[in-house]
Structure 1
Amino acid sequence: MRAVNRFLVNQKYLLILFLGVAIFASLQSYFGAMKSFVEGGRLYTTYNNYIIFKQSFFHLIESKDLYDPFVEEQGDLFKYSPAFALVFGVLAILPDVLGLSLWNILNAAVLFYSVYYLPRLDVRTKGLILVFVIVELLTSVQNEQSNALIAGLFLFTFGFLERGKYWLASFCLVSTIFIKLFGIVGLALFLLYPNKFKLTYTTAAWAILFTALPLLVVNVDQFLFLYKSWANLLANDHSISDGLSVIGWLKTWFKLDVNKTYVSLAGAILFCFPLLRIKQYGNFTFRMLVLASIMIWVVIFNHRAESPTFIIAITGVALWYYGQKQKPENYVLLVLAFVFTALSPTDLFPRFIRNEWMKPYVVKAVPCILIWAKITYDLLFANLSPRIEKSVEG
């Protein structure tokens, strides 16, 4: 037990673990065999997502439509903002093995340091959070996704808000929006803090800057065309799938063919109810649980949520559990999340169970849905208090 505690409080060891996961996943993808995404289809690299990000930069500077299929180069569409495509040029010009590795290291490092930047949590608790999310981190970086980066930016937003550093907080939050649009839900955090005028103009300033960035390499007509094309892609993307989400859960478990817009609207209303408890805004635990609620919400109400997206939700789960006083029912839900959300896509579950049960019945999402419901209830009705940390000598 003492050895475990020494590991949890040793930032150096945990950093090595995180960087090791990122480098391992990068090399595994880089040296992996070519694969197709449909039976008998064209073969692409194992690190196809990185290729999509990389090629978006070259498509941007060549004044092409970023949101065309480009089937000869990549196995899926680019769905991020034109600003993301420009910024990714820093990595795109590097050899793939180096750019891919640095991309995954960036994701892991931002998440790692954002946890340590969380206020009012002791070092051991931060170690527990990092260890809890490590499996989901591996899933995310094995798919070269940006989700660990987004999770880290959410945490940094919270950390900067708590310290009154509003320019940096709004920078981090606006960054999430220009990576994946669902980051806009994080704006709800701003309601919890004073000086909302400053939060408004700092957010507006960063949003204008990020929007205008592509003008560095394209003309005005192409600039306007790209944003129209992005908007069109996002609008048409809404009906494609149900994802590992509340929508998928309702359909597979209860055979309810419900309108996605109505489900998202209901989720938004439920999310907003706790924000009516204005007197609780001064409670740090309340504010942290609102952050946890946001991080889970953007995944479980995302009809395009995939397994690698859940690093955002599982980080929210860790904040929820380790950021407040321990309760037996919360511990049960935490274990369910670790087993069925974090571990269910891994080889610890036989392939036939994953293919016949876990994926079709969106089991990965269910613990997060239950925990989000518990968070919402607690934010509405519970007297929230901070975590009571055990002695490191254990």
Structure 2
Amino acid sequence: MNAVNRFLINPKSILFVFLGIAVFASLQSYFGGLKSFVEGGHLYTTYNNYIIFKQSFFHLLENKDLYAPFIEEQGDLYKYSPSFALIFGILSILPDVLGLSLWNILNAAVLLYSVYYLPRIDIRTKGLILVFMLVELLTSVQNEQSNALIAGLLIFSFGFLERGKYWMATLCVVSTIFIKVFGIVALALFLLYPNKFKLAYTTAFWVVLFTILPLVVIDWEQFVFLYKSWANLLQNDHSISDGLSVIGWLKSWFGWQVNKTYVSLAGVALFCIPLLKIRSYQHFVFRVLMLSSILIWVVIFNHRAESPTFIIAISGVALWYYAQFPKKENYILLVLAFVFTALSPTDLFPKFIRDEWMKPYVVKAVPCILIWGKIIYDMLFSQLLPREKTEKAL
């Protein structure tokens, strides 16, 4: 057995790499000095996103509007739920270097263990999936983002659903919703499994619990105010940018000034069509592709998608390719995703190419858009075969 295979089948080795990436990114950010997000603007720490999460806890305790600009403290708005602000207090009370490191380690560890928790996929294939994610994981934790955590929770929810552990599955999905609202798309997974009533009441339980959680530290009036403020921020945020998304792609490539709502509705319609194939629910590969579709959809149809968000989409790409029978056309798309999604923002591409071509033409999103279209097509028209039947294929 060669060194690569020994590495792929050794979870401890891959865990070491994941944790190493998390710690490296944390220390890089912590010692990165100050920077400004606009020319001549206020200076903030390199780990500004972590500061936003950290300060949200103290703002919650101080009965402040979580969604107001705190220009002296942080370089952007807080956009998560009041409950997330409370839970993040566990890290907020720690010194920055420790809290930041633990936050990135949490993101990396949840993603790693969620993949190892997947059923019906051999250990070597899980290693391939995780290695494929490494570049995007680094991008995410270098920005102190929650996206690796979200990807991990969604993959964990699938693993729990496959094992009939509905309480844990619904906890994972609802948790993502209270981090970033787009996690609500993952509720579609529940349609693939029996005992819908249990899925409904366990989901309702977690939604109620997470909603009222801030009442532990604030009164009812502030509670209502914060949820109204959050809703107002999300509503206004809809028109701010196009992001690395289908909308940005249509505008930059074809000059189409499309209505975001119409594009999202079209995306929802296409996403839902495979769900009409109820008899296919019994097939494991179909269910994995539905998970992959969700992981990619929440990024490419997100008008605020940015480079660190793509750890979610690239997780979907990896699951899509490695969970089924390898095909040459799929392999080509996988390579395109690795080169143009994972590597295009890195220094492997000269800066003038990144600035003049990759960013303006949202190239990072294009392979994921193509792969998502292929997923929908395959779920509707292709025979889906598991990977284990062709271990020596591509």
For this structure pair, what is the TM-score category when the shorter chain's length is used for normalisation? Answer: over 0.9
**TM-superposition CA deviations, 1:23-45 (whole Å, max 9, x none):** 00000000002111111100000
Structure 1 range deviating more: 167-176 or 379-388: 379-388
- Contact 1:293–1:376 (CA<8 Å) still a contact in 2? yes
**TM-superposition CA deviations, 1:134-159 (whole Å, max 9, x none):** 00000000000000000000000000
Alignment of 1:242-321 (within 5 A): 242-321=242-321
User: Does 1:202 pair with 2:170?
Assistant: no
Q: Which runs of 5+ in 1 are unaligned?
A: none
**Structure 2 residue aligned with 1:342:** 342
User: Does 1:117 pair with 2:117?
Assistant: yes
How many angstroms apart in 2 are the aligned matches of 1:240 and 1:391?
A: 46
Aligned residues: 393
**TM-superposition CA deviations, 1:276-331 (whole Å, max 9, x none):** 00000000000000000000000000000000000000000000000000000000
- Contact 2:325–2:390 (CA<8 Å) still a contact in 1? no
User: Does 1:26 pair with 2:32?
Assistant: no
- Contact 1:125–1:389 (CA<8 Å) still a contact in 2? no
User: Does 1:85 pair with 2:97?
Assistant: no
**Structure 1 residue aligned with 2:379:** 379
Q: Match for 1:303: what amino acid?
A: H
RMSD: 1.0
**Structure 1 residue aligned with 2:163:** 163
**Structure 2 residue aligned with 1:147:** 147
Query: Taking structure 2 as the reference length, what is the TM-score of the superposition?
Result: 0.99
- Identity, % of aligned pairs? 79
- Contact 2:341–2:368 (CA<8 Å) still a contact in 1? yes
**Structure 2 residue aligned with 1:65:** 65
How many angstroms apart in 2 are the aligned matches of 1:54 and 1:186?
A: 27
Q: Match for 1:237: what amino acid?
A: D
Alignment of 1:2-13 (within 5 A): 2-13=2-13
Q: Match for 1:206: what amino acid?
A: W
Task: Indicate the SS of the match to 2:34.
Answer: coil
Could you tell me how far 1:383 is from its partner in structure 2?
1.1
- Contact 2:63–2:218 (CA<8 Å) still a contact in 1? yes
Alignment of 1:40-79 (within 5 A): 40-79=40-79
Task: Indicate the SS of the match to 2:45.
Answer: coil
- Contact 2:274–2:376 (CA<8 Å) still a contact in 1? yes
- Contact 1:340–1:364 (CA<8 Å) still a contact in 2? yes
Could you tell me how far 1:3 is from its partner in structure 2?
1.0
**Structure 1 residue aligned with 2:176:** 176
Task: Indicate the SS of the match to 2:189.
Answer: helix
Task: Indicate the SS of the match to 1:383.
Answer: coil
**Which segments of structure 1 move beyond 2 Å, counting only runs of 4 or more?**
388-392
Could you tell me how far 1:388 is from its partner in structure 2?
3.0
**TM-superposition CA deviations, 1:223-249 (whole Å, max 9, x none):** 000000000000000000000000000
Could you tell me how far 1:391 is from its partner in structure 2?
6.0
How many angstroms apart in 2 are the aligned matches of 1:388 and 1:158?
A: 19
How many angstroms apart in 2 are the aligned matches of 1:345 and 1:96?
A: 27
How many angstroms apart in 2 are the aligned matches of 1:390 and 1:70?
A: 55
Q: Match for 1:378: what amino acid?
A: D
- Contact 1:47–1:144 (CA<8 Å) still a contact in 2? yes
Could you tell me how far 1:374 is from its partner in structure 2?
0.2
**TM-superposition CA deviations, 1:353-390 (whole Å, max 9, x none):** 11111011000000000000000000111110100366
How many angstroms apart in 2 are the aligned matches of 1:176 and 1:127?
A: 25
